[in-house]
Structure 1
């Protein structure tokens, strides 16, 4: 059985050939704005583990080195990509057809966490990105 996912309207689809090598909750303001939620839930892959099906994803530069991907028809947030790491791509966990098997392992950018959001899991928390603590 192949793992697949896509956007809300179904025009953009993808197929995965591997499990993600990492997954996180991101509380940065950009993730809050682009998802319309208090955090993004992301999973990381090598680019060659993802096959795009259907319509092409649309990307925009949210900063000098970051590209965020979405469906130009329904607006669904799908991907996050750093031009500094061209061999990797991050996908929205909930864009999977069945997201129940993927659990984020940690929280990043918690200095931007909404004060009304109470987190009760035991995942590690980092004020910035994981490498900065």
Structure 2
């Protein structure tokens, strides 16, 4: 396992020591706003499975417990982290150098899906988070 990724400008680089244990499409309004896209595509890791090779992610609190990380140079969305689960880190799938091998397994926060976006796959859909249904 030697997948690598980083931001758009190359300032931030990371390497993964494992495959993600989960991956999803998130349609929440925060993901829409921070990505400028109708959804985010995320992959989940234990924090120790992500090694930072160059640069430093800048984080901001998008809510009480959530920290969103981005490159301070190009603004590329890179990470999502809950302070309630410090052992886990979520990365943007498309920040990988080759994202073709990672596929989301379900859709979350579909209550916020843009009405003009038609989901055409058969993946499970959750109105809120997967744990909230």
Q: TM-score, normalised by structure 1?
A: 0.99
Gaps of at least 5 residues in structure 2 are: none
Answer yes or no: is 1:33 the counterpart of 2:33.
yes
Matched, 1:57 2:57: yes
If the length of structure 2 is used for normalisation, what is the TM-score? 0.99
Any unmatched runs of 5+ in structure 1? none
CA distance in 2, matches of 1:116, 1:130: 23
CA–CA separation in structure 2 for the residues paired with 1:62 and 1:120: 30
Measure the CA separation in 1 of the matches of 2:99 and 2:14. Answer: 14
1:104 Cα deviation after fit: 0.1
4+ residue stretches of structure 1 with deviation over 2 A?
Answer: none
Deviations 1:37-81 (A, max 9, x none): 000000000000000011111000000100000000000000000
Within 2, Cα distance between the matches of 1:112 and 1:60?
A: 22
> Residue by residue, what CA displacement relative to the aligned partner does 1:57-114 show, whole Å, maximum 9, x if unpaired?
1000000100000000000000000000000000000000000000000000000000
**1:84 and 2:87 are equivalent in the alignment:** no
Aligned-pair CA distance for 1:35: 0.3
Counterpart mapping for 1:12-23 below 5 A: 12-23=12-23
1:2 positional shift: 1.3
SS of equivalent to 1:34: helix
Whole-angstrom distance in 2 between the partners of 1:46 and 1:35? 23
